[in-house]
Structure 1
Amino acid sequence: MHTETVVPAIYGTVTTIFHDLVDPAVYDAASTKIRHLWPQQNIQFRLEFYQQFQALRYAVEEINRSSDLLPNVTLGFYVYDSCSVLKSELQGTFWMLTGLTQEMPNYSCNESPLSAIIGHSKSTFSILMAHILGLYKFPQISYYSTSSLLSDRTQFPTFFRTVPSDVFQSKGLGQLVLHFKWTWVGLIASDDDYGYEALQVIKEEIIESGACIAYTIYIATNQKNQNMPSIVKLISKSTANVIIVFAVDVFLIPLLDEMLEQNVTGKTFIASDAWSISNILTEMKYSTMLSGAIGFAFHSSEIQGFQEYLNSLNPLEPPGIDWSKMLWEEIFNCKFSDYTNLSNILNNQENICTGKENLEHVQNSYNDVSNLRASYNIYTAVYLIAKALDDLSHCQGLTGPFSGGKCSDIKNIQSQEVLYYIKKVRVKMNNQREVYFDKDGNPPAVYDIVNWQPGSDGTMKQVKLGSYDTLNPTENVFSLNTSLILWGTINQETPLSVCSQSCPVGFKKILKREEPVCCFHCVPCSQGEISNKTDSTDCWKCPWEMWPGSEQDRCVSKPVEFLSYVEPLGITLAVTTVFSSLVPITIFYLFICYKSTPLVRANNYSVSCILLVSLSFCFLSALGFIGYPEPQKCLLRQAAFGLIFTLCVSCILAKTIIVVFAFMATKPGSSLKKWTTPRVPYMIIVNCTFAQFLLCVIWLSLSPPFPQYNIEAKPGIIVVECNENSQFAFWCMLGYLGFLSTVSFTVAFLARRLPDNFNEAKFITFSMLAFLSVWVYFIPASLSAQGKYTVSMEIFAVLTSSWAIVVCMFLPKCFIILFRPNMNSRENIMGKSTGRK
């Protein structure tokens, strides 16, 4: 036999505000009770709150019709209206727990077991309820309380909610601020639990995201806002153009009115969920200030068949006849007649409500289901409780979660047993989202992001831009379609709200003294440093092989400099070197052809040939300084240059000494005659060259030259050069060469007045003078040159000094051989000699 158990398992709190004084009434039928706890004052009836009550009814009736969820079980509910009065909230809570009109703690005479409580909408009221219900381990599910305090399981172990905690909203707002690069924002909040807790969390999120707080303002909620003028002056003077507001709409109205009074515009508001979809703020007079505002709103979803259910309401049928009549009178501007005031109604000619008026012909916040938020949260809460009870009812045998493997009895359930299943419940709603509670009693957080835009009638409308959904992957939690945004700025550009303009790349931030980190100066990076992102706090040096670009925003490879064969200077010097080396060879060939002539024989033919060959190598040694400085080239080029030039100067010295010895040996009884043999000049050449060779061997053995990258010679350029390693050895080599040259010059200068047939001493004097002059000039010139030009100067000195010897010593002889052959005769040379005597 089919049996049906009636379980009034859900208790929903609906904070409904009425405009008239109504006597308390209780409706009792089929486990449904409605109680009114109204304060003694005239207040307005809120249509959207009555829609929330209908969402509760609709969910319960839908579940009772379902064959899948809680079959053979009928749900009922208790409802009371506290009218946002704290005392009434306490009365309603104990009325629900005791089941009596007279509230009695720790006593219950409920006809059917009570499973869970839905409510309250305000965080302050929910905290009060949660303290009481936690003592009884009674499950409580709020559909609109967002305070982060309620996530504390030590204080509120039985509290759950179908709306996200303010922590999630604050994180999302922090990301929103970061997305639009607002680093300087103002904070406004109501001075209640909602405002204090929200601002504490949002401050942490904003500061963590790198932004700063320009000011923090709390709006009084329990007294007249006498400080509004000074608050608005602070907002007006601040450079923060973005203001985040955590307050309900009614507390924001005095602030907006004062801003209108002082004509404060140009501020962009960021709305919390408490007022982001407010209806009372959409008036035309606020459009100049709220146009372009962006806010977080609770996620909206559809409830299938709900609008038809709302429009099918019969105000003369239970439950809640009193509320239904008030709704009817509010919508159709009529009055229900009764026998006590019928004459007054007839005399005042007021409209009489028949109860047959059609709700489908009107459109208001009662039957507007386009954006169901609070109503859908209540609808979700009912399903979560029903699913928990369904899970409880499926427990079998000794597999239960309680002591001894026991299961709960659906006909006699205990609050702590329902609490166990609510903690583990998971429900997939008709919008395909799975709802459950985390360890803190919070559901998966999802918000709609809305933008306040002016409508055709001048009032504001909220347009959905995107969402903040923690169920999405980490990189897609925050989504926003910026193309849909209508800003309140004149040019429709994104508002700018910064304390200081962003520092571009190539600059770094220097904080202003005694001001927040968002207030700073921009200073260019020093030479050799870069910053490749905006608002960089520091600059950093490039690697040694790189150099900042023109904007100092990236490191670019430094150009490598060396005297190359492919550049004009290198090509010119290389061609000049090769051509110059051919000149001594040509003269050498000329001397071979005319070796039997008196002029060639008189100038020591053998030594002259060695000198010409060495001069050709002197020219070619310059090629060692052109091209990339490879290790082998660096090792040998200075030593080769020193040895070849030493050989050249040694030949000149040998020629000079032989001239002097030859002249001195002609005197009777001279002891120098033995030094006029053909072997003497070779001995001089070998000994002088060997000394230089020994110096070079010691140098290359102990401290060999090597290639290096010089980054200090020229900023931004890598100079590839040869490091001589030992400057002492290098200057010893040059010094020895200079010493031989000086000796040759001195001896030649002293022998310049010898007879004409020995007048080669004059040419040696001039050649050594030119040679020494070139190298004396090279030393300071090389010290002032940088990079490849230092090498170019050395090549120039090599070529010039070599040409000086060629020109001064051999050009006159070649001229006589080629163009004055009559002077190249023994008679001519001897004649000159005789004439001198």
Structure 2
Amino acid sequence: MELFVILVLVLFPPIVCKIPATNCPITDPLPILHKYYQPGDLITAGITSQIYIFTKAINFKERPSQKLFDDHILMSHNYQHILALVFAVKEINENTQILPNITVGFNIYNSHFSAQWTYLACLELFSGKRKLIPNYKCGFEFHPVAVIAGPNANICHHMATILCTYKFPQLTYGTAPVLDVKTQGVFFYQMFPKHAHYDKGILQLLLHFRWTWIGVIYLGERFVQNVLPVLSQSGICFGFIERFPDLTSSSFVPELVVKGIELYNVVMNSSPTALVVEGEIQSMMILRMFFNFAEFEGRPVKPKVWIMTAQMDFTSLPLQRDWSIDFLHGALSFAMHLSEPDGFQKFLQSRAPVPERGDGFVRIFWEQTFNCLFSTSEEDKSSGQLCTREEKLESVPASVFEMHMTGHSYGIYNAAYALAYALDSMYSLKIRHRTKLGRGRSMLLNQKPWQLHRFLRNISFNNSAGELVSFDEHGGLVAGFDIINWVTFPNLSFVRVKVGTLDPFLSPDKMFTIWDEDIVWPSNLKQVPPISRCNDHCYPGYRKAKKEGKPFCCYDCLPCQEGKISDQADRDDCFQCPEDHYPNQSHDLCILREIIFLSYDEPLGISLATISLLFSFITVLVLVIFVKHQDTPIVKANNRNLTYLLLISLFLSFLCVLLFIGPPEAVICLLRQTTFGFIFSVAVASVLAKTIVVVLAFMATKPASRMKKCVGTRLANSIVLSCALIQATICSVWVATFPPFPDLDMLSEEEKIVLGCNEGSPIMFYSVLGFMGFLGTVSFTVAFLARKLPETFNEAKFITFSMLLFCSVWLLFIPTYLSTRGKYVVAVEIFSILVSSSGLLSCIFFPKCYIILLRPELNHKKQLIRKKNLKVFGPM
């Protein structure tokens, strides 16, 4: 039985209209509605007014192929809604501070899940008590002031079609219908927090547990249109989206079974573990039906986490009392935050199945709750257990009847109080106004219902539980939600455990709170908290790649590209490390790159420095030998001064290698290439001058030769000075325009940063090398042409070999230099300097040292005389 409630205001003694029927007032015009049916038998009882429930003689147990909901079947959990209203009205009437001298009553109508019955009940509000004549009512014996409707949205929607025309106040304690805001919404007051609040809560809950692959079972199109797009935009996609079968008064069992099995197969054959269920109070009955039929047919049950919306509550039919509720174990749901009024449980415990004025439901409820009968006939005695009237409500499991107030009952309780306080405010104002005008109090009952809206909209009070009740500007209840964890027991009982809160009026980072450690998860789960994803996580080091034809949260995991990482799971793409970091082998972490340079702490640097110093020492030793034997013919031959200059240049060339080892600094970078280029140019220029002097000296020995004037120290010095000046000019321009500077090479090595000298201008660098190469080429050419001159101490042969080695080294240097990376670029240049310098030293000076030290007999003046007594050199 699905109910909506009409709250009626009664003033004792009742005032009845004495005017003839034809003159009785007519309400505002309403379009003529067709009367669809006649109500059946009417059960009546009274508390302060009358409770109506329409019934028909249909027995579900005897005729299972007929309607699922027999009119004689009273769902026990819905009976708590009635008792909550009775309890609230009882408190209001006993409270002398609210509506003094006025008694509040109510009528209850059954909607039968039908629009027709809902329309009929609405029309009766504007008709007399004896005849259904809309817009024609006489007297004050039935004076409704507001409607408390629910818990289904369709009931409220059908009701609004008629009642909003009369601007009738309507309070809904369940799902709010989708109404036109301007023409209908202004007359509605929601005793349930707004949908938008728990919509955010569902999103926060899914994101908290990282459930991105979910199933959805919905009842209303609003959920599909408003909520699912928001979930999708937040990275959540859906394994299935299915709709609950419609449950109406004309629903037949076979049809529900077929639809239910189809939906059950979709749910159990799907991969999502988390299932969001958007329904209403009757949806729980349908879920229980699905699992009962599946259990009966032996179908497998996969563990799922059910996430239920706030409008869903536990309710069941009497025939479902022995059905399992294990599927609810570990479920999560949202529930309106409530504080149970004092005395409510005591009020429930006081209920007894005795004929009581005003309660026509208690006997039916008692028989169905305790599975007993009150009849004393022999037939009834033999057919079942008789009720003893000693049964206790607290002894039945919660799946049959709950002793704690539910969210819907709390909404009804607050709605009754909201109306009472609004009426009290309105009548207090009216009484003061009437007193001034001197009119009677009897006119109070003639007030129009629409006059109550201004008082309802501004109502704010604390109920008996101490909770503040008020509406926002749109008629929605200002309240939050609790997050509930359902824990079931083998005796078919359950408890709702609060495991979190949702307060939409706090900041976004504080509105959602959940205590993971308090949650009891469904049995048989492999992992807790459970995982609900389309596929496994893409772990760090991998990136997501879309699967064609699949939802966006179904993807493949591909390793990160070379040089990129992903440091978090489920990255859409990998990213580059900062320049001073490099990815590790797993591509999930950036490691700080080591700064390196050719240093004295490593074997290569030590080796090169040692070789440099060794050749420097050898060069000094050769110079000492030549200075010691400076008066010998072999030293005096080929210009002694050029020999000393060449040895000093080679010595400095070996030492300038040390500028290339160690941490590059600004001064070091300026001196490194320019010093080497200048010193080496002087050395090569000295070799060139020695070669030219040899050639010119030979030419000067010819008779009548004018070359004698050119042979001498002045020419050699001019050659060396000119070459040195040119190279010095190039280096000066280089330093003045694009000077070398310390630089970090990020590209040469992936895991390290090379600290080196940036040459500033590659053109100037290669210009220095090019000029040295030019001098070397000229020296080689001249020496090669002079290699066969008939001279005992002719150096041309040795210069030829040295220049051949020099040119070969520096020709190979350029491609090697360009192809080398990191600190080894410096090593290549050092190696070229050492090889070319040592080549000059060994090819030119070692043969002479051999003669000076080991063959002194060859170092004699007579070796300077040719067989033809030709003198090669003049006095030195």
When residues 824 and 332 of structure 1 are mapped into structure 2, their CA distance, relative to the original with a 3 A threshold, is: closer
Name the structure 1 match of 2:63: none
Match of 1:76 among 90, 104, 110: 104
> Secondary structure of the equivalent of 1:499?
coil
Match of 2:55 among 38, 43, 51: 38
> Secondary structure of the equivalent of 1:758?
coil
Q: Does 1:173 align with 2:207?
A: no
Give the Cα separation in 2 of the matches to 1:229 and 1:325: 35
Assess if the C-alpha contact under 8 Å between 2:684 and 2:776 holds in 1.
Answer: yes
> Secondary structure of the equivalent of 1:369?
coil
Give the Cα separation in 1 of the matches to 2:80 and 2:393: 15
Query: Gapped runs of 5+ residues in structure 2?
Result: 1-9, 15-38, 60-71, 435-441
Name the structure 2 match of 1:12: none
Match of 2:459 among 425, 428, 439: 425
Match of 2:148 among 118, 124, 140: 118
When residues 360 and 553 of structure 1 are mapped into structure 2, their CA distance, relative to the original with a 3 A threshold, is: closer
Letter in 1 for 2:828: M
Assess if the C-alpha contact under 8 Å between 1:139 and 1:158 holds in 2.
Answer: yes
Assess if the C-alpha contact under 8 Å between 2:701 and 2:871 holds in 1.
Answer: no
Q: Does 1:61 align with 2:86?
A: no
Give the Cα separation in 1 of the matches to 2:294 and 2:612: 87
Match of 2:406 among 366, 372, 377: 372
Deviation string 1:558-590 (CA, Å, 9 cap, x unpaired) is: 444433444432343234334433433343344
Deviation string 1:173-220 (CA, Å, 9 cap, x unpaired) is: 33333333232222223xxxx433334334223313211122222324
> Secondary structure of the equivalent of 2:300?
coil
> Secondary structure of the equivalent of 1:476?
coil
Q: Does 1:523 align with 2:558?
A: yes
Give the Cα separation in 2 of the matches to 1:151 and 1:555: 57
Match of 1:771 among 798, 806, 813: 806
Name the structure 1 match of 2:332: 294
- 1:461: Cα distance to partner? 5.3
Assess if the C-alpha contact under 8 Å between 1:147 and 1:198 holds in 2.
Answer: no
- 1:797: Cα distance to partner? 0.5
Assess if the C-alpha contact under 8 Å between 2:50 and 2:107 holds in 1.
Answer: yes
Letter in 2 for 1:140: Q
Q: Does 1:673 align with 2:708?
A: yes
Assess if the C-alpha contact under 8 Å between 1:506 and 1:531 holds in 2.
Answer: yes
Assess if the C-alpha contact under 8 Å between 1:37 and 1:92 holds in 2.
Answer: no
Assess if the C-alpha contact under 8 Å between 1:217 and 1:231 holds in 2.
Answer: yes
Q: Does 1:270 align with 2:307?
A: yes
Give the Cα separation in 1 of the matches to 2:385 and 2:687: 137
With normalisation by structure 1, the TM-score equals: 0.84
Range with bigger deviation, 51-60 or 806-815: 806-815
Letter in 1 for 2:331: A
When residues 430 and 665 of structure 1 are mapped into structure 2, their CA distance, relative to the original with a 3 A threshold, is: farther
Q: Does 1:245 align with 2:277?
A: yes
- 1:706: Cα distance to partner? 5.1
When residues 715 and 389 of structure 1 are mapped into structure 2, their CA distance, relative to the original with a 3 A threshold, is: same
After the TM superposition, which residues 198-213 of structure 1 pair with which residues of structure 2 at under 5 Å, given as runs?
198-213=223-238
- 1:140: Cα distance to partner? 1.3
Give the Cα separation in 2 of the matches to 1:663 and 1:411: 145
Letter in 1 for 2:149: G
Assess if the C-alpha contact under 8 Å between 2:285 and 2:316 holds in 1.
Answer: no
Give the Cα separation in 1 of the matches to 2:320 and 2:679: 98
Q: Does 1:761 align with 2:796?
A: yes
Give the Cα separation in 2 of the matches to 1:397 and 1:283: 52
> Secondary structure of the equivalent of 1:24?
strand
Deviation string 1:361-404 (CA, Å, 9 cap, x unpaired) is: 7446697433532222211222222333344456599999xxxx
Name the structure 2 match of 1:92: 121
When residues 755 and 688 of structure 1 are mapped into structure 2, their CA distance, relative to the original with a 3 A threshold, is: same
Give the Cα separation in 2 of the matches to 1:715 and 1:398: 89
Deviation string 1:1-37 (CA, Å, 9 cap, x unpaired) is: xxx97699xxxxxxxxxxxx995244457x5332232
Give the Cα separation in 2 of the matches to 1:753 and 1:611: 23
Query: Gapped runs of 5+ residues in structure 1?
Result: 9-20, 401-407
Name the structure 2 match of 1:195: 220
Range with bigger deviation, 802-811 or 268-277: 268-277
When residues 333 and 831 of structure 1 are mapped into structure 2, their CA distance, relative to the original with a 3 A threshold, is: closer
Alpha-carbon RMSD across the aligned residues, in angstroms, is 4.0
Q: Does 1:131 align with 2:155?
A: no
Assess if the C-alpha contact under 8 Å between 1:584 and 1:615 holds in 2.
Answer: yes
Letter in 1 for 2:302: G
How many corresponding residue pairs? 803
> Secondary structure of the equivalent of 1:450?
strand
Name the structure 2 match of 1:11: none
Q: Does 1:740 align with 2:775?
A: yes
Name the structure 1 match of 2:21: none
When residues 652 and 460 of structure 1 are mapped into structure 2, their CA distance, relative to the original with a 3 A threshold, is: same
Assess if the C-alpha contact under 8 Å between 2:164 and 2:183 holds in 1.
Answer: no
Name the structure 2 match of 1:16: none
Deviation string 1:478-499 (CA, Å, 9 cap, x unpaired) is: 3333332222335353443333
Assess if the C-alpha contact under 8 Å between 1:450 and 1:462 holds in 2.
Answer: yes
Give the Cα separation in 2 of the matches to 1:287 and 1:343: 36
Give the Cα separation in 2 of the matches to 1:682 and 1:359: 128
Name the structure 1 match of 2:211: 182
Range with bigger deviation, 442-451 or 114-123: 442-451
Name the structure 1 match of 2:62: none
> Secondary structure of the equivalent of 1:616?
helix
Match of 1:389 among 423, 426, 430: 423
When residues 599 and 836 of structure 1 are mapped into structure 2, their CA distance, relative to the original with a 3 A threshold, is: closer
Range with bigger deviation, 53-62 or 229-238: 229-238
- 1:673: Cα distance to partner? 0.8
Name the structure 2 match of 1:323: 361
- 1:806: Cα distance to partner? 1.8
- 1:683: Cα distance to partner? 0.8
Assess if the C-alpha contact under 8 Å between 2:148 and 2:412 holds in 1.
Answer: yes
> Secondary structure of the equivalent of 1:322?
coil
Assess if the C-alpha contact under 8 Å between 2:153 and 2:177 holds in 1.
Answer: no
> Secondary structure of the equivalent of 1:772?
helix
When residues 45 and 438 of structure 1 are mapped into structure 2, their CA distance, relative to the original with a 3 A threshold, is: same
Letter in 2 for 1:751: A
When residues 565 and 113 of structure 1 are mapped into structure 2, their CA distance, relative to the original with a 3 A threshold, is: farther
Assess if the C-alpha contact under 8 Å between 2:303 and 2:525 holds in 1.
Answer: no
When residues 70 and 311 of structure 1 are mapped into structure 2, their CA distance, relative to the original with a 3 A threshold, is: same
Letter in 2 for 1:625: F
Q: Kindly, what percent of the aligned residue pairs are identical?
A: 34
Give the Cα separation in 1 of the matches to 2:666 and 2:627: 39
Assess if the C-alpha contact under 8 Å between 2:99 and 2:423 holds in 1.
Answer: no
